[in-house]
Structure 1
Amino acid sequence: MVPNPSGALWSPPPIAPMLAVPGPLPVPDSGWAFETKWDGVRCILSTTGDGSVRLASRAGNDITVAYPELRALGSELRGHGVVLDGELVVLDASGRSDFGRLQSRMGVVDARRAGRLALDCPAHFMIFDVLYLDGHALLDSSYGERREVLSALGPAGAHWSAPSYVHGRGAQVWDVVVREGLEGVVAKRLSSPYTPGARSAHWRKTKRVETLDVVIGGWTQRRGAAAGVPGSVLVGVAGPAGLRYAGSVGSGMSEREQSQLAAYFAVIARSTSPFADPVEVTGAHWVEPRLVAEVSASEWTRAGRLRHPVWQRLRPDLTRLD
């Protein structure tokens, strides 16, 4: 292990990641750094300088065994006691993070299985902060200073990198994110210290969402409400074989909208599913596919489902109740 200034052997301390608050892009933006928001799993990586590494999840759980391809980063950092903050992702052929593929890597505790998955679905560690270096805490240093230290370390390999940030020009960064279909932007004050475990206004995340029209083909009962009041709706989009199931949407719906939908559902109820593909939802009730709703979502999953869907409104201009 790397000696600390007192001569004792240094062990990396446990660190809870600093978190961003959701919000719009900061204006003015001259004092801010802008990074791509990666759709992955937060990770704290630490090494004592002897070539070994330890990976910890946001909750502090040891996840080292699940990602054997990152062991080589310990060799690259040999001689340095380092704590790094970043995001574990799996990249698709276009270089975008694919959370659906990453899910196959999560929670693996068998080393052999983890090794096979590392070959079939390799992870990549996107490093965006350094918290300790050679026993010295950098938590009180500014974000800009910490990024200079990270740049000097220069971690770069097949399974890890330290993507650069853009100083100011938040609107231009946002345009690129939208154009490339990335998840969003994280803005960080260049002067901000690192506050472990805190959700700080010095870091701000802005997510890109897609808005689309979907057809309601079913619903599930709202828990604790009168019979017939929906807690979520089962929605679909047009596909080659008919209405293709796209997922369940409940977040964002007001009580007034739930009551309105309950009245509609009583009129257009049916006994069978209107979806062309199977829908494995317990307690599903079916309706004629006449109601159209506007929803937002962060992306489509590999299974063809909406990820993080949020109800926006019913589209009476597109709805057929006759």
Structure 2
Amino acid sequence: MLLEQTDKPFSDGRYIFEPKIDGHRLILSRRGGVTKLYTRHNNDVTEKYPELITDGPDITLDGELVVMDPDTGIPDFELTMARFQSKKSLLQVSYVVFDILHFDGSDLRSLPLLERKTILDQAIEDTPVISKIAHIDGRGEDLFDWVLERKMEGIVAKRKDSVYATGKRSDSWLKVINYAYADVFIGGWRKEEFGWLAYVPTKTGQLRPAGVIEFGVPPAHKQAFYDVAKELIAGEDREFVYVEPRIKARVKFRNWTKSGNLRSPVFVDFLLAV
């Protein structure tokens, strides 16, 4: 089941609200004593997470696989990806479960969400490795304020009566992302797949690379950029065309990575040229 995005937090008694966990989606399926783990795109990752292989009744769970920051106790996406890409189990994972699709021979997907939540509470006990996500009733704005204080990824709103429907997005499950904002200079573009090179100032006033803007640019803004940028070309290589960084834009993004890049920057608008 996929999440539709909405821009602002809201409160509504028809919904429950959960913190959005900043990891990667994981389906746990146990049949006849054999556990399999799958990503959102149906890739088998069972061998990556041996600590999630446990005994018990047949069950299918949906949740988020994450590594917590040891200092803050908050999900850390970079640590999660480091564990995902590693062949060794050096970073402890947490599987945060938010839904149950099958249990002990019964298909639960057509049941309302709150009924599935009740079955989930009965089906698994929290452990240091596998735990159920907490939720609150109706008060999305309060939860979003709590998330802001902790600099977490955002919140998810789920209709209490929603069935589990795969393959489409709807207002049954909504996400509100806690974006940060930055002003960047565009210093070039990628030749093949679309992407603008973003640069940000250092403390000494120089510009340094800070990632690639791939999302959120309307066609009219792309054309306006290239109409101006073709007069600013300073060089190129096999992958990129470089321009004088005189075009400025505002972007929203998830967070700064440890290497100083913008994570998943989304174009908001152009700013005045310098």
- Please report the TM-score for the alignment, with normalisation by the length of structure 1: 0.75
Segments of 5+ residues of structure 1 without an aligned counterpart are 1-17, 225-230, 273-279
- Please report the TM-score for the alignment, with normalisation by the length of structure 2: 0.86
Residues 94-127 of structure 1: per-residue CA shift (max 9 Å, x gap): 122222222233366xxxx3xx2x22x2221110
Provide the C-alpha distance between the structure 1 equivalents of 2:75 and 2:181, rounded to a whole number of angstroms: 20
Residues 122-172 of structure 1: per-residue CA shift (max 9 Å, x gap): 221110111222212222222111111222234322222112111111111
Provide the C-alpha distance between the structure 1 equivalents of 2:235 and 2:82, rounded to a whole number of angstroms: 36
Identity %: 32
Answering whether residue 260 of structure 2 is matched by residue 297 of structure 1, we say no
The offset of 1:205, in angstroms, is 1.6
Aligned to 1:247: 211
The amino acid that maps onto 1:101 is L
Answering whether residue 219 of structure 2 is matched by residue 219 of structure 1, we say no
Task: Find the residue that maps to 1:201 and give its secondary structure.
Answer: coil
CA RMSD of aligned residues (A): 2.7
Task: Find the residue that maps to 1:311 and give its secondary structure.
Answer: strand
The offset of 1:304, in angstroms, is 1.9
The offset of 1:202, in angstroms, is 1.4
Answering whether residue 9 of structure 2 is matched by residue 22 of structure 1, we say no
The offset of 1:23, in angstroms, is 2.3
Segments of 5+ residues of structure 2 without an aligned counterpart are none
Answering whether residue 69 of structure 2 is matched by residue 92 of structure 1, we say yes
Instruction: From the superposition, tell whether residues 60 and 271 of structure 1 become closer, same or farther in structure 2 (CA, over 3 Å).
Output: closer
Aligned to 1:181: 151
Answering whether residue 25 of structure 2 is matched by residue 42 of structure 1, we say yes
Provide the C-alpha distance between the structure 1 equivalents of 2:221 and 2:102, rounded to a whole number of angstroms: 51
Shift >6 Å, 4+ stretches: none
Aligned to 2:51: 69
Q: Is the 8 A contact 1:82 1:133 kept in 2?
A: yes
Instruction: Map 1:130-149 onto structure 2 (within 5 A).
Output: 130-149=100-119
Instruction: Judge which range, 253-262 or 41-50, deviates more.
Output: 253-262
Instruction: From the superposition, tell whether residues 270 and 125 of structure 1 become closer, same or farther in structure 2 (CA, over 3 Å).
Output: same
Answering whether residue 255 of structure 2 is matched by residue 285 of structure 1, we say no
**Counterpart among 8, 11, 15 of residue 32 in structure 1:** 15
Q: Is the 8 A contact 1:19 1:197 kept in 2?
A: yes
Please tell me whether Structure 1 or Structure 2 has the larger radius of gyration of its CA atoms.
1
Instruction: From the superposition, tell whether residues 187 and 255 of structure 1 become closer, same or farther in structure 2 (CA, over 3 Å).
Output: closer
The amino acid that maps onto 1:64 is T
Provide the C-alpha distance between the structure 1 equivalents of 2:191 and 2:238, rounded to a whole number of angstroms: 14
Provide the C-alpha distance between the structure 1 equivalents of 2:182 and 2:108, rounded to a whole number of angstroms: 44
